[in-house]
Structure 1
Amino acid sequence: MRRTLIRGGVAVLLALTGAVAAPGAPVHAASRCNQPEPPPSCNGGGDPDPSPVDSPPLGAFDAMTFVGNGVNVAGWAADADTSGPLLVDIWIDDAFAKTLTANTYRPDVAAVYPSFGAYRGYDAFVPSRNGAHTVCAWAINVTPPGATPLSHRQLGCKTYDVPVATNIQSFYDSTAGRWMIGFDDNVLGETSFEVRWDYYILQTIPGSSIKIASPQTLTYTLPAHDGTGRVSLPGTRPINATKLTITAPGFGSASTTALY
C-alpha cells in the first residue's frame, strides 16, 4: 500500500510540473540554447563557415598603337569577385595616365571564360607624347567583404618610339620647279616644324690647290600641318646637303635622315 502511494505521488508531481520522463533519458536534461554563449550543439555543431577568399583579376594587354599625341590600347580584364565591369589603370613611364572601364564586346573572352560573359574588353585612346615611352595596364582588384585583399594585377607593358616625323624625303618637283620636303607627321597641335640642313662647302687652303669640306648648317621653319599624315612642303635645300632633320618645337623629339 505504501509503494502504491509513493508511485501515485510521483505521477501527480510530474503532471503538475509538465515534465515527461522519457524512458532512459535523464530527468535533469534541459535546453541551454537561450544562454549568451550556447554550446556547439545549439548552432548546428561542426566547423564554422570558411572566411571569404579574394580571387585575383584576370586579363591581358593585347595591343597598342600610336595614333598622334596618344596611344590606343586594347585588351580585356575580369574578376570573379564581381559581376560588373573591371577598371583598368593605364600608366605611362611609371606615371598614372588614365582609368578605363573593361566593358567592350569581347566574344573570345566569353568563349574561354563563359562565367565572365562577353563584355569584358577595353579599347580606348590614352593621351601620350611622341618619343620613346613605356605603357603598362593594371587590372584593379575587387575584394569581397571580409576577405584579405590581393594586389592589383599588371596585365603587361608595351613600348613605342615614335619621333615627330618619319619617312623624311627631299625631292625635286620638276612640275613646280622647286625642292620639296616630305615626311609623315606623327603629332597633333604643333605650331610649326623646324628644318635643319647639314651640308658642307669646299674651301681651298690658302697657298695651295687643296680643297677641304667645311661643315655648315641651315635652319628655317615650315608651317604646321593639320592632323597627322603625310606632309609635302616646299623648302630650301643647300648644295652638298648630307642630312635633313625635322623637329616640332615643344614636342621634344626629332627625326633625321641621311642624304647621299
Structure 2
Amino acid sequence: MKSLTRATAAALLALAGAIAVPGAAHATPLCNQPVPPPACGDQDPDPDPGPIDTPPRGALDAVTFTGNGVRVEGWAADGDTAAALQVHVYIDGTYAGSTVANTYRSDVAAVYPYFGAYRGYEAVIPAKHGSHTVCAYAINVTPSGATPTGNPQLGCRTYNAPAISNIVSFHNGQQWMISFDDNVIGETGFTVRWDYWVWYTIPGTHERVQTPRSWTYTLPAHEGTGRVTMPDQRTINATRLTVTAPGFGGASTTDLY
C-alpha cells in the first residue's frame, strides 16, 4: 500500500509539473498595472502618426474704400509650404476676389523669422459704396496624406462709405462754395438741394410767418474720387444743404445755422 501511494504521488507530481511549466512559459506580463502602466520593453512602439496639417497664420490689417473697390492689406503664411499663399476676400459673406501674399513685410519676419519677409498682401477688390463687412481667408496648403484643417479667417473689418460725405458750404471772400467727398466713380453729376424759408403774410392779417421752400440744381460730375470743391448758389435764409449722386442712393446733408 505504501509503494502504491508513492507511485501515485510521483504520478501526480509529474502531472502537475507538466501542467505548470507550459503555463509559466505563456504568462502575460503585468504591463497594465499599476495605473498608469509602466512601459513594457517588449511592446511595439506607437505607430507613426503620419503627415500633420499645420493651419496658416496671418491677419487682415486694414480695409480702405477707394471709390471703385476696397483696398485690403495684411499678411498670411503657412508652415507647410514655402510658396506664397492665396488669400480670398469676401464682402458681406459673398466671394469678391483674391490676392497673393507675396509682398515685403519686415514686421512679419521680425516676429516669425521662419516665415520670411515676403508674406504680405495688398490688393483692391471690387466693392460698392455704403456700409459693408470685408473678411479675408488664407487658403490652406495641406501636406499629402494629412487631414485638412480648413481655411482660417484672417479677420473681418467694416467700412462705411456713403456716395457723398463731409459736405460743407463756405464763402471764400468772393463767392459761396460747396465742398464734399465724392466716394463713387461714374456719376453723371451731383444734385444740390437747398432748404430755406421765406416770410409769408397771412391774407387779411398783418401776421407774418416763416414758410419753408426748397431749390434744386445740378453740379457737373467729378472724375474719380476725392474732395470736390465747386461754386455754389446758396440761397438767402438757407437752413439745410443736401448733395446726392443720382443713381447711387447716397446723400450727405448738413444743417446751417
TM-score past 0.5 threshold = yes
1:219 aligns with 2:227: no
- Partners of 1:213 and 1:91 in 2: how far apart? 51
Summarize deviations over 1:173-220 as a string: whole Å, max 9, x none: 443xx4322222222222211111122222222233332222222212
CA distance in 1, matches of 2:105, 2:172: 49
Cross-structure match for 2:200: 203
Aligned to 1:19: none
SS of residue matched to 2:107: helix
Residue 148 of structure 1 corresponds to 147
Find the counterpart in structure 2 of residue 246 from structure 1.
Answer: 243
Deviations 1:78-133 (A, max 9, x none): 11122111111111111211101001011211122122111110011122222211
Quick check: 1:85 aligned with 2:84?
A: yes
Whether the 8 Å contact between 1:168 and 1:184 is mirrored in structure 2 is yes
Partner of 1:52: 51
Q: Which residue identity is paired with 1:251?
A: F
- State whether structure 2 residue 249 is matched by structure 1 residue 256: no
* Distance (whole Å) between structure 2 residues aligned to residue 172 and residue 210 of structure 1: 34
Does structure 2 conserve the Cα–Cα contact (< 8 Å) formed by 1:105 and 1:120? yes
**1:181 matches 2:178:** yes
Q: Is the 8 A contact 1:163 1:186 kept in 2?
A: yes
Aligned-pair identity in percent equals 62
Q: Which residue of 2 aligns with 1:16?
A: none
Between Structure 1 and Structure 2, how many residues are aligned? Answer: 214
Q: Corresponding residue for 2:231?
A: 234
For structure 1, the residue ranges without an aligned partner over 5 or more in a row are 1-44
For 2:92 and 2:256, locate their aligned partners in 1 and report how far apart those are by CA, in whole Å. 34
Aligned position for 1:32: none
Contact 1:164–1:246, Cα closer than 8 Å, also in 2: no
* Partner AA of 2:63 in structure 1: M
How far, CA to CA, are the matches of 2:251 and 2:93 in structure 1?
Answer: 23
Asked if residue 107 in structure 1 is aligned to residue 106 in structure 2, the reply is: yes
Report the Cα offset of residue 74 of structure 1.
0.8
Distance 1:91 1:209 in 2: 65
In 2, the alpha carbon distance for the partners of 1:49 and 1:234 equals 77
Q: CA deviation at 1:47?
A: 4.0
Q: Which AA in structure 2 matches 1:237?
A: R
Cα distance in 1 for residues equivalent to 2:237 and 2:91? 42
Check conservation: 2:165, 2:251, Cα contact below 8 A: no
For residues 52 and 214 of structure 1, the distance between their equivalents in structure 2, rounded to whole angstroms, comes to 79
Q: Note the aligned Cα RMSD (angstroms).
A: 1.8
Tell me which residue corresponds to 1:15: none
CA contact (8 A) 2:190 2:220 kept: yes
- What secondary structure, in the 3-state scheme, does the structure 2 residue paired with 1:250 have? coil
Kindly state the Cα deviation for residue 60 of structure 1 after the two structures are TM-superposed. Answer: 0.6
Which residue in the other structure is 1:164 paired with? 163
| Partner in structure 2 of residue 118 of structure 1 | 117
* Separation in 2, partners of 1:191, 1:200: 29
- Output the CA distance in 1 between the equivalents of 2:54 and 2:251: 46
What amino acid is the match of 1:255?
Answer: S
